[in-house]
Structure 1
């Protein structure tokens, strides 16, 4: 069972993600965006620490730890899943050439913004509540694991709206 604060954040986040195609674009874009952000943050070396992989503490490591604390407070199980993915993004990002990370950024944000502008017709929720930048990955993991059930009436309404708009095209 989700904590009340996490449930409220998910409900608020869901309100900006009603259209099923927009939610689909997020399932593609959010992992890509997380990967590119972690990879880019890993380019910023803060202090040499020979014991760490790569020999330095990077901004990605600091960001990962800070987000780990936030995610674990929101929900331990989901937080571990999201944080494990984020941690895997550090070595994966190091394997990618700079041009590929930049391409991932362009593609990820393009897909994300298309979902909101073309289908949802609303700006991304993190523009009005910055914490939603952290909520997004947690929300979609919660949906995938079944820890957050999409409201049936809203899902049916958005599916019907999708069919109605297709019929008018």
Structure 2
């Protein structure tokens, strides 16, 4: 016997499952963070930053591998923005105090600079996406433009 679920029912089921998993995960957070000492805080920070970097890189990878093969200049805006955000977050994670030397000595001020740079770019990107700013050219050009921007900022 097969259950036929409507799209609305599937969405509701997905939301309930997600809420359940988030609730189960969140219930362990206070006990986990209560046992942390400042010696290993850099490891927790790096783990959480890598999660956000993974999300940004995933967005770029999905847009690079679109199945419909149509070229939308709007995707260039997203590729440029999230590539730069991922790189800035990566440099931020490596600049956090307690991490090994990355170009210059790691410090809180250096990590905050790269974090604020990434968040500022994120705000600009959200406005550009909201106003449907279209960047001409190919996806690869804007990927390298993001790398160039981060190289200038770094």
TM-score between both structures, scaled by the size of structure 2: 0.30
Bigger share in strand: 1
Q: Which has the higher contact order (CA 8 A, sep 6+)?
A: 1
TM-score between both structures, scaled by the size of structure 1: 0.28
